[in-house]
Structure 1
Amino acid sequence: MSELSRETSPPHHSQYALMRERRFAPFFWTLFLGATNDNIFKVGFTSLLTFDAAAFGHVDAQSAAFIISAIFILPFVLFSATSGQIADKYDKATLTRLVKTFEIAIMVLGTIGYLTHALGVLYVCTFLMGTHSTLFGPVKYAYLPQHLRADELVGGNGIVESGTFIAILVGTIAGGEAASLGTHGALTLSVCCIGVAIAGRACAGRVPASPPPANDLAINWNPFSETWRNLKLAAVDRTLFVSLLGISWLWFVGATLLTSFFSFAKDVLGANADVVTMLLATFSIGIGAGSLLCERLSHRRVEPGLVPLGAIGMSLFAADLYFASQQASHAGALLGIGAFLARGVHWRVLIDLLLLSVAGGIYSVPLYAMIQSRSAPTHRARMIAANNILNALFMIVSSLMALALTAVHVSIPGIYLVTAALNAVVTGALFIAVPEFPRRFASWLRGETRAASPR
């Protein structure tokens, strides 16, 4: 769809109407299936190593889980700058189809690894899946402003954010369940991964053309110099740069929470793996609900004032998660879902987690929309790529912080309290750097709305 046809399209009354349009729906299902497959593969691989370690040469499952996570993140650091340039230089629909074809090839290789229990092959596939996601990341967010009107951008981002976290949940559950099928686990995982990859490629075939904004771009293949150049370019617009940092900070908070759920459930709440799945579901549903609420709360405008609202909620409910956890106690067998929900204190934990993640969704969607609307079209994908690099670095720092705090005997709830305090300090600093955020928040509270200026 051209810029002209996008602008003259009749307005929609609901963001969900986009799910019936070719300019949005095929692309959404392509990215949904891609995120699902990432997690089917990663979680399935980790589960097989955990419960069938002997088949892989008695590898240390706990260490392997960290290795898998690190290998998957590595391409975001190495290749994001290059992928951003590629997304600005070439048609995004063509790139989407190529990336999804690449995914099928990766999953065929992964099948060989699963069926032969070849650990090295599966590590290579993990790296390649990270590369696949790195290539698709800049395309994903640069595509939307090229096909959506300004009054659709917040709603479209809300659907994308909601769908991404639901896809993560679906992939996590599917990967774990498939891997738990004993001798049939590897084969089931292989069939699922290849099937989802093929479905994603079919959806990609219907993605409409997206002419490149910088087809004369000379690609700089040095990822370090290009990353530095993009960050300097973003820093010229303080609001844009702070928005990048704000999104990366959310990934810091999210990584801290998500990586701790297994220990939090077992060691603090005295619950089993089914409750871990429920915690993941609660978090995903909350992010999705918060993301979808943004269109209504912002009156279909890019509203920076929602960012402080989300930040306040994240700190408040992360802190209360700490206090709620202090009341949890357990002894004996780990609790299943029924026994877990029979205790009133656990409902407070779930409500805190739900509202924390709702706040995270409200916080993130306006920031993504601001990056998309304020980036120059010729550099938009490269700004998203720079953000992906920052996201990866922030997640690494999150892991290092959690390891450091654990080393000095800080409990999992204690880490949540530290994160709540850090969130208040970091987001407060971001809002001081860009007074537009608190100013628009005050206007939003008074019932005033306006479109954020494009620059």
Structure 2
Amino acid sequence: MPEQPTTPDQPVSHSQFGLLRQRRFLPFFLVQSLGAFNDNVYRQAIIGLLFWMGVSDADKTLYTNLAPALFILPYFLFSALAGQVAEKLEKSRLIRITTAMEIAIMSLAAVGFLTQNMPVLLVALFCTGLQSTLFGPVKYSILPSVLKPEELTGGNGLVEMGTSVSILIGMISGGLIFKLAGDHGPVAAATAIICLAVLGNLVSRLIPRVDAGAPDLKINWNPIPESLHMLRLVRRQLAVRNSVLGVSWFWFVGTVLTSQLPTYAVVNLGGDETLYIFALALFSVGTGVGSMLCEKLSGRTVEIGLVPLGAFGMSAFILDLYFARSGTAPAAGLDVAGFLQQPGSWRISLDLLGIGLFAGFFVVPLFALIQSRTPRNELSRVIAGLNIQNSGFIVLAAVLGLCVQRFLGWSIPQVFLALAILNTLVAIWIFSIVPEFLMRFLSWVLVRALYRLRLHGIEKNVPDEGPALIVCNHVSYMDALILAASIPRPVRFVMYWKIFNIPVMSWIFRTAKAIPIAGARENPALMQQAFDAIDAALAEGEIVCIFPEGALTRDGQIAPFKSGVERILEQRPVPVVPMALKGMWSSMWSRRDSRFGRMRVPRRFRAHVDVVAGPPLPGAQVDAAQLEARVRALRGDAA
């Protein structure tokens, strides 16, 4: 059934789960989930084979140290090539190629299982890492091509949720193969991984065509200079650079935590081997739930205000995990039921779940920001650069975790304590470099605490890319923050210079790159600077929002639009999107009440506010009076 069009008079009501019913997303989602599932079935099945063969502890230790290195090595060696190939080739074709590679690799692995040949299995594991390296850039660069900007957060949430659940179920399934199949374990493992690979390839053939980002790109086969070039692409935009740094830091924290869980479950929780899976399940489920909640909390925008919330939430729960059990377990050999009966067990369980939950809040908006602000013809290479950096952080996490325990004698809870402190310091450092993250967090908290927004026509009428001028009625001091929370793209607001300089709020406005303006009689130089800044922003393809009334309404009605909007459009006739705010007059921070009245809790706390957008109008064919009439029509009778 085709989607119904959204009109300005109908509120937006969508769910990210609707993407799972659409061909543009579902086959890709299934392919990446099947790939993550099969990788972990394979890796855990190798461990099962070692136990089934009864090899020595030394051989088991050799594998557990060698396997992660073999899997991660291709990311260092081939990410530069993978990013270029993903940029040059049509994306659905590349996915079919990589899933066909998976069939060949798993066929080789099947031979290793059937012959119990560990070198063959390790070679196949290296090839699995290579296949994952090639798939990585297309995995995330395909999303902006098939999703609308307002769907990026929800789509990334689904991908992260699917990956987390697939990894967990794959580890459990792979670990059970040899226990359930007994003497037929090698055959069962070989059959399972080949069938999963074939299924992934069949599903990949349902992915619609997605054009290449840079089909004329000339591939540089030398990995070292190309890797450096991709890392420079990552650093080109400050917000993207620090989002990439944040994603890499997520992998650092995740690696430290998950690498400690097997020993932590035995030594500090007193569990058997099943308790490790339970602990990992709590973290994975938490990450999946947090990823899924991002769209609901963000209002379908790329809401990077969730990133500080995620960072500090992770620190709080990791810190509490240390205090919940800082020593060894009082019992041993506990299964999940036995552990949950121990004092403090529910607190530990909630901590692991909370770490994963806030990790989802942290990483999903970062991926969405990277995708939304990176040029399409560079995105695959930026993702490849991200993978290179991620690999370095993963190796660093593994080495540091080993060193502090081996040479400094730290216990695992002490590692968690250090990680909580380090995570807080890194988060503060990132947010001090890019204040936009913290600014968005503060504005997100403020708007969500005071209002319940209902959006009308924004997805349909605000352009996904390119310059546009937004004109809107001006009701309260919160108008700019509400519009910023409603529009998927970053917006440059033009505001009266005295409002721009309000203490505390001024920092938010400056960080958001708002443009202060004064009247011609008040400060003609500042007025000219404002118009120059507006034109420069539109020339760069940005969205600029102005309130043409020139001041807050004093009676709830829309005042005549001033001619400044015509001056902007005369110099640069970009599309104009009329918007209207409804319900703000009776809410806090309008001029309906006296200054003392605004300090009181409003009678309509958490008031419903409607944000309405009309179809774009050609900038060369409209004037202030026409725009005023259109905004009046959008607002209707409700002030």
Separation in structure 1 between the aligned mates of residue 365 and residue 489 of structure 2, nearest angstrom: 10
Separation in structure 1 between the aligned mates of residue 190 and residue 256 of structure 2, nearest angstrom: 30
SS at match of 2:344: helix
Separation in structure 2 between the aligned mates of residue 51 and residue 221 of structure 1, nearest angstrom: 42
On the 8 A contact 1:328/1:345 being kept in 2, the answer is: no
On the 8 A contact 1:304/1:452 being kept in 2, the answer is: no
Partner of 1:82: 81
Task: Return the offset for 1:226.
Answer: 0.9
Task: Return the offset for 1:60.
Answer: 1.6
Report how many residues are paired: 447
Separation in structure 2 between the aligned mates of residue 94 and residue 73 of structure 1, nearest angstrom: 25
Separation in structure 2 between the aligned mates of residue 354 and residue 328 of structure 1, nearest angstrom: 21
Partner of 2:552: none
On the 8 A contact 1:53/1:60 being kept in 2, the answer is: no
Q: How does 1:18-417 map to 2 (within 5 A)?
A: 18-54=19-55, 60-180=59-179, 181-326=181-326, 329-331=329-331, 333-407=332-406, 408-417=408-417
On the 8 A contact 2:326/2:414 being kept in 1, the answer is: no
On the 8 A contact 2:240/2:373 being kept in 1, the answer is: yes
SS at match of 2:356: helix
Q: TM-score, normalised by structure 1?
A: 0.95
On the 8 A contact 2:307/2:365 being kept in 1, the answer is: yes
Separation in structure 2 between the aligned mates of residue 26 and residue 177 of structure 1, nearest angstrom: 28
On the 8 A contact 2:267/2:329 being kept in 1, the answer is: no
Q: How does 1:419-438 map to 2 (within 5 A)?
A: 419-438=419-438
On the 8 A contact 1:88/1:378 being kept in 2, the answer is: yes
Q: TM-score, normalised by structure 2?
A: 0.68
SS at match of 1:330: coil
Separation in structure 2 between the aligned mates of residue 413 and residue 51 of structure 1, nearest angstrom: 33
Q: Please identify, of 17-26 and 267-276, the stretch whose mean Cα deviation from structure 2 is larger.
A: 267-276
On the 8 A contact 1:84/1:385 being kept in 2, the answer is: yes
Separation in structure 1 between the aligned mates of residue 105 and residue 327 of structure 2, nearest angstrom: 46
Task: Return the offset for 1:38.
Answer: 0.6
CA displacement, residues 397-450 of structure 1 (integer Å, 9 cap, x when unaligned)? 001110111111101111111111110111111111101011111101101424
Amino acid at match of 2:125: T
- Pick closer, same or farther for the CA change 1:41–1:428 going to 2, 3 Å: same
Amino acid at match of 2:40: N
Task: Return the offset for 1:314.
Answer: 0.6
Task: Return the offset for 1:53.
Answer: 3.9
- Pick closer, same or farther for the CA change 1:28–1:12 going to 2, 3 Å: farther
On the 8 A contact 1:327/1:345 being kept in 2, the answer is: no
Separation in structure 1 between the aligned mates of residue 489 and residue 6 of structure 2, nearest angstrom: 21
Amino acid at match of 1:346: S
Separation in structure 2 between the aligned mates of residue 147 and residue 12 of structure 1, nearest angstrom: 20
Larger radius of gyration: 2
SS at match of 2:274: helix
On the 8 A contact 2:50/2:60 being kept in 1, the answer is: yes
Partner of 2:418: 418
Q: Of Structure 1 and Structure 2, which has the larger fraction of its residues in helix? A: 1
Where in structure 1 are there 5+ consecutive unaligned residues?
none
Separation in structure 2 between the aligned mates of residue 410 and residue 452 of structure 1, nearest angstrom: 46
Q: Please identify, of 445-454 and 371-380, the stretch whose mean Cα deviation from structure 2 is larger.
A: 445-454
Task: Return the offset for 1:59.
Answer: 5.5
SS at match of 2:218: coil
CA displacement, residues 155-209 of structure 1 (integer Å, 9 cap, x when unaligned)? 0000000000000001100110013343222111111101111111111010000
On the 8 A contact 1:250/1:360 being kept in 2, the answer is: yes
**CA-atom RMSD, angstroms?**
1.8
Partner of 2:598: none
Separation in structure 1 between the aligned mates of residue 329 and residue 135 of structure 2, nearest angstrom: 44
Task: Return the offset for 1:62.
Answer: 1.5
Amino acid at match of 1:88: E
On the 8 A contact 2:327/2:413 being kept in 1, the answer is: no
Give 4+ residue runs of structure 1 displaced > 3 Å after superposition: 8-12
On the 8 A contact 1:309/1:359 being kept in 2, the answer is: yes
Task: Return the offset for 1:222.
Answer: 1.4
Task: Return the offset for 1:325.
Answer: 1.3
Amino acid at match of 1:287: T
- Pick closer, same or farther for the CA change 1:439–1:219 going to 2, 3 Å: same
Separation in structure 1 between the aligned mates of residue 176 and residue 263 of structure 2, nearest angstrom: 20
SS at match of 2:367: helix
Separation in structure 2 between the aligned mates of residue 427 and residue 177 of structure 1, nearest angstrom: 39
Q: Which has the higher contact order (CA 8 A, sep 6+)?
A: 1
On the 8 A contact 1:50/1:62 being kept in 2, the answer is: no
On the 8 A contact 2:36/2:167 being kept in 1, the answer is: yes
Amino acid at match of 2:67: I
Separation in structure 1 between the aligned mates of residue 191 and residue 343 of structure 2, nearest angstrom: 41
Separation in structure 2 between the aligned mates of residue 42 and residue 262 of structure 1, nearest angstrom: 16
Separation in structure 1 between the aligned mates of residue 20 and residue 259 of structure 2, nearest angstrom: 32
Amino acid at match of 2:41: I
CA displacement, residues 234-260 of structure 1 (integer Å, 9 cap, x when unaligned)? 212111111101000000000111111
